[in-house]
Amino acid sequence: MEFKNNKANPIRVAVIMGKMNSGGKKTLAMEYFRHIDNKKVKFDFICDADSNAIPTEEIEKSGGEVHIVAPYQHIIRNMWDMYSLFRKNRYDIVHAYNSTMNLFPMAAAFMAGIPVRINESVSMGNKKEKKFILKCLLRPFSHLFSTHYMSCGETCGIWQFGKDLYNRGKIVVFKSVVNTDKYKFDSDLRKNTRDKYHLSDNMVIGHIARFTAQKNSLFLIDIFYEIYKLEPKAKLLLIGDGDLKEAMMTKIHQLHMEDSVVYLGRREDILQFYNAMDCFLLPSLYEGLPIVGIEAESTGLPVFFSSEIPKESGACNDLSYFIGLNKSPQEWAGKIVKELDKHIRQRSGRANELKAAGFDSAEEAQRLASYYSEIVMK
3 falls within a domain? no
Residue 92 domain-assigned (yes or no): yes
Interacting residues of 61 by C-beta distance below 8 A, sequence separation 6+: none
pLDDT of residue 6: 55
Three-state secondary structure along 318-333?
HHEEEECCCCCHHHHH
Are 165 and 228 within one domain?
A: no
Domain count, the chain: 2
Q: Above 50 in pLDDT, residue 331?
A: yes
**Could you tell me if 15 and 92 lie in one domain?**
yes
Buried b (16+ CB within 10 A) or exposed e, 186-198: eeebbeebbeebe
Question: CA gyration radius for the chain?
Answer: 21
CA 307 remoteness from chain centre: 17
Name the band, by pLDDT with cuts 50, 70 and 90, for residue 1.
very low
Residues 31 and 78 in one domain: yes
User: Half-sphere exposure of residue 178, counting CA atoms within 13 Å on the CB side?
Assistant: 30
Average pLDDT over residues 318-323: 95
In a domain, 5, yes or no: no
Task: Specify whether 367 is located in the same domain as 271.
Answer: no
Residue 335 lies in a domain: yes
Q: Is residue 272 in a domain?
A: yes
Whether 129 and 260 map to the same domain: the answer is: no
**Contact (CB, 8 A) for 301 and 316:** no
Do 132 and 193 belong together in one domain? no
Q: 3-state DSSP call for residue 208?
A: strand
Q: Tell me: pLDDT of 130 over 80.
A: no
Per the structure, the complete domain to which residue 340 belongs is given by 187-356
d(CA 149, CA 112): 19
For residues 321 and 364, state if they share a domain.
Answer: no
User: What is the pLDDT, as a whole number, of residue 123?
Assistant: 86
The reported pTM is: 0.88
144, 282: one domain: no
Q: What is the pLDDT of residues 199-232, one digit of tens each?
A: 999 999 999 999 999 999 999 999 999 999 999 9
Q: Is residue 182 part of a domain?
A: no
351/182 Cα distance (integer angstroms): 9
User: What 3-state DSSP class applies to 224?
Assistant: helix
How confident is residue 7, by pLDDT bands cut at 50, 70 and 90?
low
* Strand ordering across the sheet containing 171-173: 65-69, 41-48, 11-18, 93-96, 116-121, 148-151, 171-173
Burial 283-317 (b: 16+ CB within 10 A, else e): bbbbbbbbbbbbbbbbbbbbbbbbebbbebbbbbe
**Strand-pair partners of 338:** none
Q: What are phi and psi of 63, to 5 degrees?
A: 95, 0
Which range among 202-206, 279-283, 290-294, 354-358 shows the weakest confidence by mean pLDDT?
354-358
Q: Domain with 65 in it: what CATH number?
A: 3.40.50.2000
Specify whether the CB–CB gap between 235 and 204 falls below 8 A.
Answer: yes
Is residue 152 located within the same domain as residue 239?
no
317 pLDDT above the threshold of 80: yes
Is 4 part of any domain?
Answer: no
User: Dihedral angle at the C-alpha atoms of 170, 175, 307, 249, nearest 10 degrees?
Assistant: -130
Q: Are 39 and 4 in contact (CB under 8 A)?
A: no
Under a CB-based contact definition with an 8 Å cutoff, are residues 41 and 63 in contact? no
- Among residues of the chain, what percentage have pLDDT more than 70? 98
Is residue 97 within 8 Å of residue 29, measured between CB atoms?
Answer: yes
The predicted pLDDT at position 342 comes to 80
What would the pLDDT profile of 228-262 be if each residue is shown by its tens digit?
Answer: 999 999 999 999 999 999 999 999 999 999 999 99
With bands split at pLDDT 50, 70 and 90, how would you rate the model's confidence at 132?
confident
State mean pLDDT over 269-285.
96
Do residues 54 and 202 both lie within one domain? no
Say how far apart CA 143 and CA 348 lie, in whole Å: 42
State the average pLDDT for the chain. Answer: 93
Query: 196: which residues sit within 8 A by CB, 6+ positions away?
Result: none
Q: Does residue 119 carry a pLDDT above 90?
A: yes
- Residue 44 forms part of a structural domain: yes
Are 143 and 237 contained in the same domain?
Answer: no
* pLDDT tens column, 92-102: 999 999 888 99
Q: Sign of dihedral through CA atoms 245, 249, 252, 258?
A: positive
The verdict on 169 and 239 lying in the same domain is: no
